[in-house]
Amino acid sequence: MSSPASAAPRASRTPWVVLGLLAFEPMSGYDLKSTIENTVGHFWQESYGQLYPTLRSLRAEGLVTMTSEPDGARVRHVYAITDPGRAALMAWLEEQPRATPVRNELLLKVFFASLADAAALRRHLRHALERVDEQRAVLAAIREAIAREPADAHQRRCWTLTVDLGLRNAEAVEAWATQALAELDAEADAGGEARP
């Protein structure tokens, strides 16, 4: 990503997360970390150990600037996207998203569940249902917060679309786990076994 014209795909997506957030407003590294946690962190995990090296790299490439502001006894470094940084971000937004490998520990445990006690599988599925309820509550609160954001309608729509997919995923996990538990119960009943 040394120049917007040759914005070659990077293995790491952290630079795009940083540039995207800085396109909304200048932020310090701490502000970026907090904003990631409260926004894209619900569907995109970032390594915070890469945040400052990424900022240094983007700055060296001329894609962001840094200004220093006094903050009590400390100095606060605020980063802002540059015109070349915005051009690189726009070029990346036009590219097709790359397929990302799924890493789902629940599915891994379900796949190998026949090797263990059936009670463990049921516990995992019930826990998945509990997490769905928690996730749904968090996402609903985020959706309400987005409606109060001082952003234009299109920005709010784009942000809401990400939350809506999270809600749909939660519904799908709920339906799947409920069906899986029903199938396990029917299997146990057919075999005359006690349900764990």
Q: Residue 168: beta bridge partners?
A: none
Distance CA 135, CA 127 (A): 12
Model confidence pLDDT, tens digit, residues 117-165 = 889 999 999 999 999 999 999 999 999 999 898 888 999 999 999 999 9
Burial class of residue 14 in the structure, from the number of CB atoms within 10 Å of its CB (0-12 exposed, 13-18 middle, 19+ buried) = buried
Sign of CA dihedral 14, 16, 20, 25: positive
Mean pLDDT lowest for which of 5-9, 56-60, 114-118?
5-9
Q: What is the three-class DSSP state of 76? A: strand
Half-sphere exposure of 190 toward its Cβ, with a 13 Å CA cutoff?
6
Would you state the pLDDT for residue 31? Answer: 95
Would you state the pLDDT for residue 129? Answer: 96
Backbone dihedral angles phi then psi of residue 143, each to the nearest 5 degrees:
-60, -40
The model's pTM: 0.76
Model confidence pLDDT, tens digit, residues 31-52 = 999 999 888 988 888 888 889 9
Model confidence pLDDT, tens digit, residues 60-83 = 999 999 999 888 889 999 999 999
Distance set, CA 34 to CA 7, 17, 39, 43, 48 (Å) = 27, 13, 9, 15, 10
Answer whether 28's CB lies under 8 Å from 78's CB.
yes
Helix (H) / strand (E) containing 154: helix 153-190
Q: For residues 157-182, give the mean pLDDT.
A: 95
Amino acid at 52: Y
Amino acid at 181: L
Model confidence pLDDT, tens digit, residues 48-57 = 888 999 999 9
Answer whether 182's CB lies under 8 Å from 195's CB.
no
The residues, ordered by sequence, that sit 6+ positions from 169 with a Cβ below 8 Å of its Cβ are none
Distance CA 91, CA 157 (A): 21
Q: Where exactly are the structural domains of the chain?
A: 4-94, 105-190
- Say whether domain 4-94 belongs to CATH 2.40.10.480: no
User: Which residue bears the tokens 């729509």?
Assistant: 157
